[in-house]
Amino acid sequence: MNIISQNTAFGGMQGVFSHQSEACKGEMTFAVFVPPQAITEPRPVLWYLSGLTCTHANVMEKGEYRRMAAELGLIIVCPDTSPRGNDVPDELTNWQMGKGAGFYLDATEAPWAENYQMYTYITEELPALIAKQFRADMSRQGIFGHSMGGHGAMSIALKHPDRFKSCSAFAPIVQPSTADWSAPALDKYLGSDKATWRRYDACSLVEDGARFSEFLIDQGKADSFLENGLRPWLFEEAIKGTGIGLTLRMHERYDHSYYFISTFMDDHLKWHAERLRK
């Protein structure tokens, strides 16, 4: 693991690191905030998955999570959204595909399958590195994210209910298999057999029997992607009768930006901390 930068913030450490990824066949960058409490004891880990076009830096610079994470004693891990590098396949004119748009899945189709193994990277490779390099209590993990990252967080939590004790999302893509800005990417990454897409679709996972205790979703009503891409009401409908808890908060005037995310970041951190204490 290489240190790119380390800065003191609220008594803790905000770091940016890189390492050679076996899953993604190249160098990957990620950010970690370590709270001051980790000096003396292992602390819970909260994973934040970013959205389309983002890197680790967007939430690190605009998410405003450090003050509350330091107060609550949470380690925050912010991975990149895709593999990077000159040899990694990309669609330069399509922001919904390729670099910055890994969709937290394991691609099976050429040319994407060689590098775009983000599901394995997020669920296996990077957690092993975090456990080795930081004073992290891996028995207490939560996961959240924004937009594409909200999709990633919810689908990963549904597949790993024994690992994650909490899951929340800002404006998540709850049904990527039918959303305008994700279905074309799933087709290219996974092929035309839509049955294989269901493993990465929160609504489909619930329909197929996956369960998680509860979710918190915040959504802006002024979000330009709400009607065609996000549609949280589809998840609300999918979980009826399943016993899955959902707190869905719809906010007037808020859009899809980090102004929205930073406004409700403290709420999410407190929500996770309460569940990670158990």
Catalytic residue among 90, 223, 268, 272: 223
C-alpha gyration radius of the chain: 17
Residue 160: active-site member? no
Instruction: List C-alpha distances in Å: 9 to 68, 71, 101, 109.
Output: 11, 11, 30, 42
Q: How far apart are CA 4 and CA 17, in angstroms?
A: 5
How many Å apart are CA 213 and CA 227, to the nearest integer? 27
Active site residue 255: no
| 256 annotated active-site | yes
Q: Exactly one of 56, 151, 256, 272 is catalytic; name it.
A: 256
Torsion angle of C-alpha atoms 50, 136, 22, 148, degrees rounded to 10: -10
Measure the CA–CA gap between 108 and 150, rounded to whole angstroms. Answer: 22
Task: Give the HSE-up count for residue 206: Cα atoms under 13 Å, Cβ half-sphere.
Answer: 22
Q: Considering 147, 166, 168, 182, which one is annotated as catalytic?
A: 147
**Residue numbers annotated as active site:** 147, 223, 256
